[in-house]
Structure 1
Amino acid sequence: MTDRLQGVVPLASDPRPTHIGTHTFHGLAPGPKLLVLGAVHGNEVCGTKAIQQLLQDMASGQLCIERGTVTFVPVTNPLAYQLKRRTGDRNLNRNMAPSAIPQDFEDRIANVLCPLLDSHDMLLDLHSFHTGGAPFVMIGPQNNSGTLEPFSQAEAEMQLALCTGAPRIVEGWLDTYARGVSRRAAAPVVTGSARAQTLVTDPNYGVGTTEYMRSRGGYGVTLECGQHDDPQAVEVARRAIVQTLALLKMVSLPLKSTDTEREVLRLVDVTDREHAGDSFTRAWRSFDAVKAGEVIGTRHSGAEVKAPHDGFVVFPNPRAEPGQEWFYMARRRA
């Protein structure tokens, strides 16, 4: 493992990374193939730290893979990690697809990451979030044969979500994002490069690691382990990895009960930040409840942004770039 993957902070003058590090363990009995990702966003390092702890446990013999294959990627986007920010050239967790002619660093990462996803059966992607709040896990759609995100493994994916221990389960990402892209394309906020503008108005821009995995016949969840700097987020990530290994019977450890009732919410809308002067009325946290008509933010123009219905604010990002997601709205699953 390189010093960079061990968490040593590189100098700002360091050259751009030229590789990503992976760690694969093959059990001597056949079984599933699990991929675990950390630091898809470079400032979300709880997964990185949890993976590093577990690699040490494996090196010392405290944790042993007995069945199947698990691959750990402690730092999936090393440029963003090096810069200690969410992105390198762009958001790696959008427009996830191989590129015949890569145009940025994340395209080059995707050309390595997509084949890695192709070669595994399921994915645990470890993230954290800007503002306070409890951990939650994001799942894909119900089984369907539609055109947006056809899927046939909803039951297995739900079991994976439950074993992470997150108290909330959130669904509805891709169709909500697609509606946002449609509005964005109809009334674009011109910001950044032409490349950035093209990406954020591309319907495929909502496709990230889990969406790509589902499109290839696998399944996966995104676990939001807590606020970026919360030390408990590392333990949430660590527990989720170990419990996933237990669920898949890859290790000889008991699976903790998943009988606890979970709140299931569905994303239903997304609001973009239009101007750097747009501001929230308060420091919203994910899953803060709002009533229809409640003012969530104020545009630079002075116009109020109100909740369109009773529900919950999700992913509020006071530092969102103009033309990108400012916050989502969710409702309880009917």
Structure 2
Amino acid sequence: MRPLQAIHYATPNPGPKLIVTGAVHGNETCGTRAIERVLAEIDNGQLVLARGEVSFVPVCNPKAYELKRRQGDRNLNRKLSPTTEIREYEDHVANWLCPLLARHEVLLDLHSFHTGGEPFAMVGPENNDGPLEPFRHAEREAALVLRLGVRRIVDGWLSTYAGGVARRRQRAELTGQHGLETDPDFGVGTTEYMRRVGGWGFTLECGQHEDPAAPEVAYTAILNTLAHLKIIDAPDPAPVAAPQALSLYKVVDKIDADDHFARHWQSFDAVPAGTLIGTRADGTPVHADEDSAIVFPNPAAGAGQEWFYLARGNKRF
């Protein structure tokens, strides 16, 4: 198995500290390919770093990467934090990755998704002092997310996930089956951890796993981020025209492995109120509760796992 690896570059001039990560999920390799391309350009002098520092982690989860699947023992991007209780491979990764994230200020985390659809970025909340996800860098996130090269921008992850955890806990009280998925911090991944330690950043979903365009989306986002942060001497990219902003508001889990979709959904397909989205194994229909868009539909999800999300439009961007 390949070792955990971070490639770090530091310039003599003050500037931001950026970290770019790939393959948090082992079957999402577009970020790995893009990072490898950028590393080659830095090393051959084609891309010159002018100020600040930048670290690249081409493969965050080597076990999952070698197995060519989403996770090794568990999902690295859930309940991400250092731990003294080493139970699974991803605990070792977390104890290495979390301090590395904390040494930086900005994170660009590169992902892809299961079904087809247009690339999109996920951002944090607006500035707030609330108990769930206090934050003070919303303006910085807004300025950069409009320059990553994608037009769709999604927020509401952690609050939506917290609602899903609450529903899982209710089911667990009935069944007596309490697992990691019922932990209130289960929705904390790379970007949420970064915000908890004072930083900011994005999850960029670059396209479907096998889409040959996805590595190019990731590569463009890296270059645009380096330019916007002035780590390289290049013009600030122009903001994307006509961004589409949405907020997640509900996550729906599979209850049974035989729960199935009514059709082949892609992320951001419209689901008007009353639309049949899927059917439970016992025949119970699952409908859209309001005019929405479906996000991250996963027909391969197992029982108790996230099946799909719903999002509504907002006017934030």
TM-score (ref. length: structure 1): 0.92
- In the alignment, what sits opposite 2:78? 94
Residue 32 of structure 1 aligns with which residue? 16
1:57 aligns with 41
Looking at structure 1, the residues matched to 24 and 96 of structure 2 have their Cα atoms a distance apart, in angstroms, of: 13
Look up the SS of the partner of 2:16 in the other structure. Answer: strand
Residues 286 and 26 from structure 1, CA distance in 2 versus in 1: closer, same or farther, beyond 3 angstroms? same
Cα distance change of structure 1 residues 259 and 234 upon mapping to structure 2, 3 Å threshold: closer
- The Cα offsets for residues 259-304 of structure 1, whole Å up to 9 and x where unpaired, read as 5120100001010011111110111000000111110001111111
C-alpha root-mean-square deviation of aligned residues, in Å?
1.4
Q: Secondary structure at the match of 1:64?
A: coil
Question: What one-letter code is carried by the residue in structure 1 that aligns with 2:69?
Answer: R
Residues 138-217 of structure 1 aligned to structure 2 (within 5 Å):
138-188=122-172, 197-217=178-198
**Aligned residues with identical type, % of pairs:** 55
Unmatched tracts of structure 2, length 5 or more? none
TM-score if structure 2 supplies the norm length? 0.97
Does structure 1 residue 283 correspond to structure 2 residue 264?
yes
Given the alignment of the two structures, is residue 67 of structure 1 paired with residue 51 of structure 2, yes or no?
A: yes
1:225 to 198, 206, 214: 206
Note if 1:243 corresponds to 2:224. Answer: yes
Which structure 1 segments of 5+ residues have no match?
1-15
1:319 partner amino acid: A
The 1-side partners of 2:188 and 2:44 are apart by: 38
Q: How far apart, in 2, do the equivalents of 1:258 and 1:37 lie? A: 23
For 1:259 and 1:71, locate their aligned partners in 2 and report how far apart those are by CA, in whole Å: 26
Return the offset for 1:152: 0.4
Give the aligned partner of residue 315 of structure 1: 296
Q: Deviations over 1:102-126 (max 9, x none)?
A: 2111111000001001100010000
User: For each residue in 1:159-180, what CA deviation from the matched residue of structure 2 results, as whole angstroms up to 9, or x when unmatched?
Assistant: 2211111110000000000000
Kept in 1: contact 2:32–2:59 (CA 8 A): yes
| Structure 1 residues 77-92: aligned runs within 5 Å | 77-92=61-76
CA distance in 1, matches of 2:240, 2:69: 37
Determine whether 1:296 maps to 2:277.
Answer: yes
Residue by residue over 1:90-146, the C-alpha shift from the partner in whole angstroms, topping out at 9 and shown as x without a partner, is: 000010110012211111100000100110001000000001110000001000000
Per mean C-alpha deviation after superposition, the further-off stretch among 203-212 and 23-32 is 23-32
Counterpart in the other structure of 1:11: none
